[in-house]
A = this chain, B = another copy of it.
Amino acid sequence: MIRPVPSRREAIADDLRHQISTGHFKAGERLPSEAQLATRYTVSTPTLRSALALLQGEGLVEKIHGSGNFVRRPLRRITYLGGVVELATWITFSAPLRVTTRTTTIEAHSHLATLLNVPPRSPLTEVLHIAHEGKTPHSLARIYFPRDLAPADLTAATPAPERIAARLAAPRPLLTEVQERLSARLPTQEEATALRISTSLAVLSLTRVATDATGRVVEAALLLLPGDRGDALFTTCLSPEERTPRA
């Protein structure tokens, strides 16, 4: 067994966690300034800040430079349903949330070219998709199509967001295989900013590649969910014939 050495930062983090969970500090509220908290706990500011850093990593506290530390509102957890062929799930699922969508045309750089199996610098249509709950960003999706395969109304200049969503949700006939790869990592600075999370809060990264009957990659999507409020669920059912024991 490991002996848990109670460091000051752990003790302070525990105390703040407790005060948050008991409602002494309420959701959305600003905590006392770091200087005040440091005085209250009789520690130096770096020590106090390291305690707050722990809470940030858990998604309990959000720091806003120049304004203060805020108790993060507990948001509805979102579950990405995997193993479904249309992106419909994702989109309709995000429906109750406010969604910001943006479409642009870019050139495939190396990573995307590999993913979509197209030559480097091929034209791609990118759809950027941010779901919000209230003012808080909730998830981030980047969806790429080879330019010639993108639905025509997506490539028009600034199509209405509702049209984009409807388009993505529509079933596409030719898909035969969908691969979804998931990994856990810390967000980049850009991702953290877009999602308004700390760079020390783990995110679930999902890369979805859909292939048509000819083996061509028709669409690739990069989804990003903050680890404290999103997960992915895959359900596999066995048909009766598969259920037969093999041994």
Q: Which residues of A contact B (CB under 8 A)?
A: 2, 4, 46, 57-58, 79, 82-85, 170-186, 189-190, 193, 200, 202-205, 213, 225, 227-228, 230-238, 242-247
Given the interface contacts A186-B57, A186-B202, does A178 sit within 8 Å of B243 by beta carbon?
no
Whether B186 pairs with A185 at a CB distance below 8 angstroms is no
Besides the known contacts A172-B245, A181-B231, A213-B243, 19 further A-B residue pairs in the complex with CB atoms under 8 A apart: A2-B193, A4-B189, A58-B186, A171-B246, A173-B243, A173-B245, A175-B243, A176-B243, A177-B236, A179-B233, A180-B233, A180-B235, A182-B204, A182-B232, A183-B230, A184-B185, A184-B205, A200-B200, A234-B234
Q: Report A81 CB to chain B, min CB distance, Å.
A: 11
Q: How far is the CA of A234 from the CA of B85 in the complex (A)?
A: 12
- Mind listing 24 A-B residue pairs with CB under 8 Å? A2-B189, A58-B186, A82-B236, A85-B238, A173-B245, A174-B243, A175-B238, A175-B243, A177-B235, A178-B235, A178-B236, A179-B234, A180-B234, A182-B182, A182-B204, A182-B231, A182-B233, A182-B234, A183-B184, A183-B204, A183-B231, A184-B202, A185-B227, A213-B243
